[in-house]
Structure 1
């Protein structure tokens, strides 16, 4: 718990390759008393992902705080890609005393203060729909990091757009970002990436939802508790609901995490040793 609120860290789950890194940080923060439960919302295909599914079940057997969540019975979105089903997960998130921390399954680094600082901001600032950390490899975060002099302009200018061609689609730029973070981690200077303030995000600004904190009471208060309309989670949290309420989301300046890859970046990042380096860091996080 943090400040008397339960904390549930949850992930639209699908890839053991990267989730096996993230779970080490979540285990660390469970053992530190910051996270109460970890949920894997099973967003997998029944065939072709047998190893991914088996790994999730192994975690559920190994850890009493790890829970598997499945798509609600009787709900179908037709023949849409599985990424569209993640919005159904919020039907489980209607406890008004809980802060829900969403993490992509390819989040591969959580600074030791990231969860506490992000959740505390979510508690202290009830107005936003979502509070985001500084996400390394997120276009809008890269934009603000550049404005604050943390990312060199010489790497390519990043605009304040969710799918900016440099911040979202440029593989060599993503490699530089991860190498920059690695340098800070190894030097013990990750806090140098903190922003000098929290930044509001204008209502209607689409934002990649690789990680954010939200409140169960907001989902409980919906006409149908936990049912997002529209049901696509990124659109609901960053475009529709902020516009409907006039409440800007917030980028928290003192919480740093790392998101590994958007699909246009895959060929570049997969040709590096970065994922192995992240895995070594995660192993150290649970043995320290």
Structure 2
């Protein structure tokens, strides 16, 4: 059976905690198989929360500082299968030396050399190394493979010294390093090299994107496009981090519809607080005019709902008051030619061959450019409804705290049923 993979761009803690409960329930029920949480956080507080709550890191952009990967003891080595072409960095944090760490660089200097340095732990968050002398270096030409998993093993010999092996090549022991009490292990890539830890296969895994790009999301699509063969049989779901309601009873139906209907390039959930969906909800008789008039946004872009927190408040309040939490459309699915906000969408892994776009806005590329190029529609599936908290322009007038509280109560009620 094709794996069902959910992707979320994380993460604002005050928005994402509700979604987390729904997704964990979907994982526990076997409705989805994997949750790939892409860390595009902008604040240090959110970054810490994501790193502490969303599984081990599977993928790291080159500008990612060290992340925890495990530990090594005299009885148990540290093992890792690394996808990286050069500049793999391992940090050993000895239990018997709380102030310093040892950095092992594997395949540095254009995959020609490997080296060891000793540094204070404050340097774990930095990248500059010109000021740090090497304790030892080794000629290791071609030690890392750009195309195959790199087998990395860190062990401790009987004298308490670390011994590093990469693809069968031994580096060490390093007699000047004492890790006889064991050590924590951290890893990162470096100098332009992404790092993928291939043996991390937890249901919830973290993918760490670049830190300083305003619109970094194309990196996600580039990753899946690069490994299209690996994911060719998968069914992908992608949702915003501020999805605050999800009808789990209909999520399986949504996935089955996606599987059984390959013609649409994208299939969208029926989304509360989405301009195109709101228009069709009203046109189908599910949204009375007393809630507001929801026009079709010109070309599907922006529109009066997108820019108005007051209109979003009214729409959320109406949905929260509906007894069955449904806003059905007049037919099971509707094909649209307008640009649809991609708050909760699905695509097929077999279409990843079309995802090689770079630095384009992901919504325009996915909802407009590629469907038009391939002459394939975008469909809205009526029976699976989710609620999307807000668009940026709505924030000033949106009753965020009140709505988050109401949706939290609804989530607990739904998951307890």
What TM-score does the superposition give when structure 1 sets the normalisation length?
0.85
| Equivalent residue number for residue 87 of structure 1 | 218
Distance 2:262 2:335 in 1: 13
User: What CA deviation, in whole Å up to 9, does each residue of 1:84-103 have, x standing for no partner?
Assistant: 21122123433011111100
Distance 1:236 1:230 in 2: 10
Contact residue 85 and residue 232 of structure 1 kept, 8 A:
no
Higher RCO structure, 1 or 2 (CA under 8 Å, sep 6+)? 1
Check if 1:52 corresponds to 2:190.
no
| Equivalent residue number for residue 320 of structure 2 | 182
Distance 1:175 1:218 in 2: 37
Q: CA 1:253/1:43 → structure 2, altered by over 3 Å: closer, same or farther?
A: same
Following superposition, the deviation at residue 142 of structure 1 comes to 0.5
What TM-score does the superposition give when structure 2 sets the normalisation length?
0.60
Following superposition, the deviation at residue 13 of structure 1 comes to 0.8
Contact residue 8 and residue 38 of structure 2 kept, 8 A:
yes
> Structure 2 residue aligned with 1:156, among 283, 286, 292?
292
Gaps in structure 2 of 5+ consecutive residues: 57-200
Check if 1:11 corresponds to 2:8.
yes
User: What CA deviation, in whole Å up to 9, does each residue of 1:170-228 have, x standing for no partner?
Assistant: 222111111111112xx2x124x1213111012xx221111101111101x23xxx422
| Equivalent residue number for residue 268 of structure 1 | 397
What does residue range 53-68 of structure 1 map to in structure 2 within 5 Å?
53-61=47-55, 64-68=202-206
Question: Which is richer in helix?
Answer: 1
Secondary structure in 2 matching 1:113: helix
Following superposition, the deviation at residue 281 of structure 1 comes to 2.4
| Equivalent residue number for residue 335 of structure 2 | 200
Following superposition, the deviation at residue 266 of structure 1 comes to 1.2
Check if 1:20 corresponds to 2:156.
no
Distance 1:270 1:176 in 2: 10
Contact residue 267 and residue 347 of structure 2 kept, 8 A:
yes
Gaps in structure 1 of 5+ consecutive residues: none
User: What CA deviation, in whole Å up to 9, does each residue of 1:146-168 have, x standing for no partner?
Assistant: 10111122433222223453221
User: What CA deviation, in whole Å up to 9, does each residue of 1:209-267 have, x standing for no partner?
Assistant: 11101111101x23xxx422563210111111011011111011111000001122112
Distance 2:202 2:345 in 1: 24
What does residue range 203-282 of structure 1 map to in structure 2 within 5 Å?
205-219=338-352, 221-222=353-354, 226-229=355-358, 231-270=360-399, 273-282=402-411
Contact residue 242 and residue 249 of structure 1 kept, 8 A:
yes
| Equivalent residue number for residue 143 of structure 1 | 279
Contact residue 10 and residue 40 of structure 1 kept, 8 A:
yes
Secondary structure in 1 matching 2:205: strand
Count of residues in Structure 1 that have an aligned counterpart in Structure 2? 265
| Equivalent residue number for residue 308 of structure 2 | 170
User: What CA deviation, in whole Å up to 9, does each residue of 1:26-65 have, x standing for no partner?
Assistant: 01111111011111111123xxx12211221222349942
Distance 1:216 1:182 in 2: 34
| Equivalent residue number for residue 41 of structure 1 | 38
Contact residue 122 and residue 213 of structure 1 kept, 8 A:
yes
Distance 2:378 2:15 in 1: 27
Q: CA 1:155/1:163 → structure 2, altered by over 3 Å: closer, same or farther?
A: farther
Distance 1:127 1:160 in 2: 24
Contact residue 109 and residue 259 of structure 1 kept, 8 A:
yes
Distance 2:283 2:311 in 1: 16
Q: CA 1:55/1:282 → structure 2, altered by over 3 Å: closer, same or farther?
A: farther
Secondary structure in 2 matching 1:275: helix
Question: Which is richer in strand?
Answer: 2
Distance 1:275 1:120 in 2: 30
Following superposition, the deviation at residue 80 of structure 1 comes to 5.3
